[in-house]
């Protein structure tokens, strides 16, 4: 009987040894990729290239976005104002709640200075001043914010102001904020602004006025690979944060909304990004040149132009997935109209996993100037025929 007992113990020990070694042989992504536990009521993690959702907690739930709103304000104003445009601070802007830049009515600043100050210090009055400089009034600018949101497919979003102060008619979702962040981070000036940790902000008037500003995003310089983007906080919104980070070929964007407090949003984001880097691998798909297409052009100096994805295709994979399950398709019109601007997206390359759409990459057309050519004129005449083939 004692001999049987000893043998049973040996078998048990051997079993544990085998299990231990099998554990060591598991891919790191399977060992480390425990889903994050966060205080945020709603959050999301996406692949920065394709927009594929890698993890979500109530990602389509509506909440107040607080100062993450300023991502849209910054993005739109970059397309409307030059770096040297002068922005004069109105009484409305100076009287807006929470102005850490200490702006005063009558102050004048270069756009490059005030937009960086707005994003870094999260100044609400600066957002008002920028909106007035860009479109003449806050309501006009807000209307354009909502137009852009609709264009980006932000169907759960409505803006009521350019700064994110609490308003019942001002709301968004983590997924919509991630869509906005993904789009905005394609702009090199926007990317440079949101990754800056510190800057001496200078005024034109009063001459000599300046202020050293620290970025409110505490992850900058303190989380490996972080590249931005924007904090948000009000009592109603709780802690909010949109973040972007990259390590190697993995590029992530994550959003948290209504975290427990101002510090919890950073702890939540660390957990989400840690999960993303542990769980996600990238598999090389087709190159951009392998995905090229052509479209007809009407009203231009050329009748056809080449269309390629914004970059080479990489497939984001979660544990247990295989790149062989990915397929690509094209959402691209047969005919487009000139002018076609440099970098203009005219369609999408759609990525599907096991037949389900999981992301997309913009298709960019070579520029075409407006004008006349016989071929382009004929495209206009026979457009109805061309689109059927």
Name the residues annotated as catalytic: 67, 70, 122
DSSP state for residue 34 in the 8-state scheme: P
Q: Are 38 and 145 within 8 A, CB to CB?
A: no
* Interstrand relation of 293-298 and 335-337 (parallel, antiparallel or unpaired): parallel
Q: Which residues pair with 231 in a beta bridge?
A: 241
- Which residue in the block uniquely carries the two structure tokens 């919890």? 264
Burial string for 247-262 (b: 16+ CB within 10 Å, else e) reads eeebbbbbbbbbbeeb
The SS3 call for residue 89 is: coil
DSSP letter for 171, please.
B
The crossing angle, in degrees rounded to 10, of helices 70-78 and 124-135 is 30
**Under a CB-based contact definition with an 8 Å cutoff, are residues 244 and 251 in contact?**
yes
**Quick one: DSSP state of residue 113?**
H
The residue count of the chain comes to 389
The helix or strand, by DSSP H or E, that contains position 53, with its residue range, turns out to be strand 53-57
Q: To the nearest 5 percent, what fractions of the chain are helix, strand and coil?
A: 35, 30, 35
Q: Is 189 helix (H, G, I), strand (E, B) or coil?
A: helix
Q: How far is it, in rounded angstroms, from Cα 328 to Cα 361?
A: 10
């Amino acid at each position: 009987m004692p001999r049987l007992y000893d043998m049973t113990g040996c078998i048990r020990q051997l079993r544990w040894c085998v299990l231990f070694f099998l554990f060591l042989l598991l891919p790191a992504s399977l060992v480390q990729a425990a889903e994050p536990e966060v205080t945020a009521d709603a959050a999301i993690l996406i692949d920065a290239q394709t927009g594929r959702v890698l993890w979500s907690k109530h990602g389509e739930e509506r909440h107040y976005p607080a100062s993450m709103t300023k991502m849209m304000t910054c993005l739109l104003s970059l397309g409307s104002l030059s770096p040297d445009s002068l922005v004069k601070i109105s009484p409305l802007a100076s009287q807006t709640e929470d102005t850490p830049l200490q702006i005063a009515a009558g102050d004048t600043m270069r756009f490059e200075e005030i937009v960086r100050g707005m994003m870094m210090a999260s100044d609400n009055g600066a957002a008002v001043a920028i909106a007035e400089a860009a479109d003449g009034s806050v309501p006009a600018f807000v209307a354009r914010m909502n137009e852009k949101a609709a264009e980006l497919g932000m169907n759960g979003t409505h803006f009521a102001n350019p700064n994110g102060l609490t308003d019942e008619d001002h709301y968004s979702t983590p997924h919509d904020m991630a869509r906005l962040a993904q789009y905005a981070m394609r702009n090199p000036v926007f990317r440079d602004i949101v990754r800056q940790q510190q800057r001496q902000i200078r005024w034109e008037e009063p001459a000599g006025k300046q202020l050293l500003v620290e970025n409110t995003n505490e992850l900058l310089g303190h989380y490996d690979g972080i590249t931005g983007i924007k904090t948000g906080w009000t009592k109603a919104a709780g802690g909010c944060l949109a973040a972007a980070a990259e390590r190697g070929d993995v590029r992530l964007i994550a959003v948290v909304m209504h975290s427990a407090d101002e510090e919890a949003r950073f702890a939540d984001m660390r957990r989400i990004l840690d999960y993303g880097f542990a769980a996600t691998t990238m598999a090389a798909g087709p190159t951009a040149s392998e995905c090229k297409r052509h479209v007809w052009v009407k009203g231009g100096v050329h009748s056809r132009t080449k269309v390629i994805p914004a970059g080479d295709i990489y497939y984001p994979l979660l544990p247990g997935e295989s790149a062989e399950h990915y397929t690509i398709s094209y959402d691209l019109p047969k005919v487009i109209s000139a002018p076609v601007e440099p970098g203009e997206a005219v369609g999408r390359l759609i990525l599907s996993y096991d037949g389900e759409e999981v992301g997309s990459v913009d298709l960019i057309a070579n520029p075409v100037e407006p004008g006349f050519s016989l071929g382009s004129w004929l495209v206009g005449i026979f457009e109805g025929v061309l689109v059927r083939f």
